[in-house]
Structures are given as C-alpha cells and as structure tokens.
Amino acid sequence: MNYDVFNGDADGIIALLQLQLANPTPSKKITGVKRDIQLLKQVDAKAGDNIRVLDISMEKNIEALKRCLDAGAEVFYADHHRAGDIPSSDKLTAHIDLDANTCTSLIVSELLDKQFHLWAITAAYGDNMIAAANAEADKLGLSQEQKDKLKALGIYINYNGYGSEIEDLHFHPAALFELLLAYSSPLQLIEQKDSIFYQLEGLYIADMDKAQAAEVMFENNAVKVILLEDAPWARRVSGVLGNELANQSPEKAHAVLTHHKDSGYTVSIRAPLNNKQGADQVVTQFATGGGRAAAAGINQLAEVELERFYQVFGDYYS
C-alpha cells in the first residue's frame, strides 16, 4: 500500500504535487486542515508499505513514525519544521532542513533536480518566504507580473488550508491537490481563466475585506496581537492575515487569535521578517504549540493563559 501524508497548506500540497508529477503513483492520501499535523497516526502501516510524509513536524509524529518503521514500512520524510531526534533506521529516508528560508516544496524540488521549480516557488510564496521565492524566480528570469501571479496563487492555496475543521475550508486539501495536478506549471493554471486560481481569488478577497476591522488585543514596540470574530471566514484568514501583517511591519512579531470551537483561542504567530526566529520557542511553552522558527501556532490556548501568552510573546521579542 502507498500512503501520501501531507499538510493541507500550499507547501504540503505542492510538495506532493511535484512528486506525483515526476512519478505518478497511486496512493491513499491523508491530509487535513493546516493545523492538523499529527496525521501519521492515521496510517495503519504494514511491512512493505511505502509512506511519503510531507510538511508535518517529525517531532509531533515521532511515535507514529516509529510504529510505521517497526512494522516494516518504508518511509520518505521531507520537512522544515521541528524534527526532534530523527530515528536511525534503514527504512527511513529523511530530508529535514530547518533553515528559516526554505520550505518542504523547495527541499523536494532540489531532490527532483528542479523539474517543477515554478511550483516550488509558488509554495515558497505561500509560506511567506518572499525573499527566497523572489531569489529563485529571478534565477529563472521571471517577470514581475509572473512573480506577482505565483505569489497570489501560493497565498490562495495556503489560505484554503486554514480552519478549525474541514467544513471551514472552501476545498478539501486532497480535492484541491487533484485539481492542481492537471497542470505541470502554475503559469498554465493561471492562464486558464476559469481555473481554480480565479475561484480562490474571489473567495480570498471577500474574506480579507472582513478582516480590516480586527480588534487589537495587545501591542508594544515589538509585538502585535489581534483577535478576529468567531466565524468561518476568520478562521480561514488567520494565517494569511498574519503573513500580510508581517509584510506590512517587518520589524514586529504578530499573533492572530481566533476563537477555538471548544473554548479559548487558536493562535497563529509570525516572527518578524527582519528576525525570522523564535516563533517555535514561544509556542512550545504552551501545551498545544508547534511550528517552526519563522511561523508557528497554538492549537488551543485557554482563556486563563491569555495574559501569560502576552507576557511570553512580548518578552521574547522585546
């Protein structure tokens, strides 16, 4: 049995997209909303299975990974999030790079000799790695218009992955992956006027317009925390809004809070673009925190923890 286990954001989807374009392989696809990262536990691994894991933290999936390896499955793992101690196994092929200026799709692109590098650039834009994406685009001689279009596509795919549950999303990430798989180049997709690009664009603009009235909960010279209302549109924009705020004020760290469906808040953090580190250090001081140096989150922050979060977040970047 072949399994593809991938984050439901732009980076996870496009990492798999490149692998499937290079070598089409029938597989059972396991994915979810962007914050659903403990996906490997859904695999009932057996000897001889082949499992590809993309853009989810090895540290958060370590027990499931060990179980898969112990069962005799072959595991290919590519990621740029916190890994913890990587198991030593001849069944595991791990490509982990924690550099704040790379993403899983760029890692995969290198492994594929950049066959579908335009897609990897799109993913980098979606992950808000603007400088890295621009540098790669410039190597290919792309025009400013082409870069702007790839950036927009990356943002829209990423935007689609945010939500508390699948019902918050416009498209299930596995379904969106299948729609994108029809195009060997993102520019082909963008040129098609009735494509998913334009559907996502209209939905994105409508949601982001609503975010302009966000409440500022806490702010100092180093950080800013905003709260969105309790609605599906707010959960959808929580990550991309953080990226937009980071681009507007690159010297500040930003946190976007949305109401958790059970209680408390879901938190999306972006480190300052001028100092892309520490987001993971902040969130891992809370029970459901995880992510990477430049961008991280807390799946559920209790109401009573809010003041402590302001303190930890503000102190770290001050």
**Residue 298 carries which side chain, given as an amino acid letter?**
I
User: How confident is the prediction along the chain (318 residues), in pLDDT tens digits per residue?
Assistant: 999 999 999 999 999 999 999 999 999 999 999 988 899 999 999 999 999 999 999 999 999 999 999 999 999 999 999 899 999 999 999 999 999 899 999 999 999 999 999 999 999 999 989 999 999 999 999 999 999 999 999 999 999 999 889 999 999 999 999 999 999 999 999 999 999 999 999 999 999 999 988 999 999 999 999 999 989 999 899 888 988 999 999 999 999 999 998 999 999 999 999 999 999 999 999 999 998 899 999 999 999 999 999 999 999 999
| Predicted pLDDT at 110 | 98
Which residues, including other chains, have CB under 8 Å from residue 86's CB and lie 6 or more apart?
58, 92, 94, 96
| pLDDT value for 4 | 98
Domain assignments of the chain as residue spans, ordered by start: 2-202, 214-317
- Residue 35 is predicted with a pLDDT of 84
CATH class of 2-202: alpha beta
- pLDDT of the residue at 54: 98
Which H or E run includes 134?
helix 130-139
CB 31 within 8 Å of CB 176: no
SS3 248: helix
Residue 100: predicted pLDDT:
87
CB 56 within 8 A of CB 39: yes
User: What distance in Å separates the CA atoms of residue 301 and residue 141, rounded to the nearest whole number?
Assistant: 44
3-state secondary structure 74-110: EEEEEECCCCCCCCCCCCEEEEECCCCCCCHHHHHHH
**Which runs of consecutive H residues, i.e. helices, occur in 172-305?**
173-180, 186-191, 196-210, 232-248, 279-283
- Phi–psi pair at 27, nearest 5 degrees: -155, 160
Count CB atoms within 10 A of the CB of residue 184: 15
Q: What is the CATH number of domain 214-317?
A: 3.10.310.30
Q: How many CA atoms lie within 13 A of 124 on its CB side?
A: 25
- Find all residues with CB under 8 Å of 195, minimum gap 6, and list them: 189
Round to whole Å and give the CA distance between 225 and 208: 17
Residue at token pair 């403990």: 38
220 phi/psi in degrees, rounded to 5 = -140, -165
Q: pTM, whole model, 2 decimals? A: 0.86
Q: Is 179 helix (H, G, I), strand (E, B) or coil?
A: helix
